[in-house]
Structure 1
Amino acid sequence: MKTFDHLTVIGLREWIALPELGIVGLRAKIDTGASTSSLHASDIQPFERDGQRWVRFTAHLGTLVQRRHRCETELVSLKTIRSSNGQVQSRYVIRTSLALGDRVWPIEFTLACRKSMRYRVLLGSKALIDGRLVVNPALLYVQDKPILTLSGAQ
């Protein structure tokens, strides 16, 4: 049996933060079947700032208590995604830092309407690879909630 001591173990669900967007205390579901991570967003509006493509959107946080957070960030691309039910749609892609446990690294998120989903964030396999994470699906909330200072750094 091989072991992977150089990788961090996470559970099927984890607490995360998106410090560059000013978002903390967000529950994420880990989805190894999805390549790209996804964030629940509405009111998505692309615009230009200093000749660069940007996007503003409302991030929806929480499931029992609905919280909304208005965000603006650079737009990475527009990507065609095929959902698990076979539906194809174009989604805006952003790149922002992800805080999970005591680590922070940049990942890409597609912005999508996830209002009918239990979790407002899915972390896909690219985020897991970049974070050097392995998933034990029998566990939940293995890592501590990220603690962020006012500057967003840990």
Structure 2
Amino acid sequence: MRLEPSALLCCLFLSPGVGLAANKTVYGLNEYVKLKDLDLEVAAKLDTGAKTASLSARDIRRFKRDDETWVQFYLAIDEAHEYPIERPLARISKIKRRAGDYDPDEEKTYTARPVIEMTVCMGQALRTIEVNLTDRSAFQYPLLIGSEALKRFSALVDPGLKYAAGKPGCITDANPGE
């Protein structure tokens, strides 16, 4: 059986995967991201295998303010600010330890990390995402964007591309909650 080109094209557009892909933005393996809350631009790695986003931070401590739990930290980024940053704690994330990080004497197979909300701009999209705090100074990219954040950006990741979205160019009054 041979399909006419117009019938084949029609079948492709009716396919569920193609219809969903039409509303997605293609990003590369690495992208520039503006941390709007901190007025700082960093390079990020987009990782569909990671669930959460991670920001490089050091000297992380929790404290109480007005009966709420907050987090204070310093960015663990070479060119970053020298002052402490304080944000409300959104939750605690349990990150599965890799085989090299697992200590059989400890019974935990996860690491607990504080999570905060941040407004970030990638390409032309401004979104509020959850970011866990951990020291990533041993890694090339201070920010890792995981699958939960990628969903909020309606992202398709092409690992063959780098910086496909260009420099962040968000309009300040755009809706970050989308």
Q: Flag whether TM exceeds 0.5 (same fold).
A: yes
Partner of 1:72: 86
By percentage of residues, which structure has more strand?
A: 1
Partner of 1:50: 66
User: Displacement of 1:24 after TM fit?
Assistant: 2.0
Q: Which of residues 29, 32, 38 in structure 1 aligns to 2:54?
A: 38
Partner of 1:25: 41
Output one character per residue of 1:36-88: Cα deviation in whole Å (capped at 9) or x when no partner: 01001001111122221111101123xxxx12333111101122111444633
1:5 paired with 2:19, answer: no
User: Displacement of 1:32 after TM fit?
Assistant: 0.6
CA distance in 2, matches of 1:10, 1:117: 20
Secondary structure, aligned partner of 2:149: helix
Segments of structure 1 that go 5 or more residues without pairing to the other structure are none
CA distance in 2, matches of 1:97, 1:112: 18
Q: Percent identity?
A: 33
Are 2:114 and 2:133, in contact at CA under 8 Å, matched by a contact in 1?
yes
Are 1:19 and 1:148, in contact at CA under 8 Å, matched by a contact in 2?
no
Q: Which of residues 111, 116, 123 in structure 1 aligns to 2:138?
A: 116
Are 2:57 and 2:75, in contact at CA under 8 Å, matched by a contact in 1?
yes
CA distance in 1, matches of 2:91, 2:54: 14
Q: Provide the TM-score with structure 2 as the length reference.
A: 0.75
CA distance in 2, matches of 1:36, 1:137: 18
By percentage of residues, which structure has more helix?
A: 2
Partner of 2:128: 106
Secondary structure, aligned partner of 2:90: strand
Are 2:126 and 2:170, in contact at CA under 8 Å, matched by a contact in 1?
no
Partner of 2:33: 16
Segments of structure 2 that go 5 or more residues without pairing to the other structure are 1-11, 102-109
Quickly say closer, same or farther: Cα 1:83–1:28, change in 2 above 3 A: farther
Which of these two proteins has the greater Rg computed from alpha carbons? Answer: 2
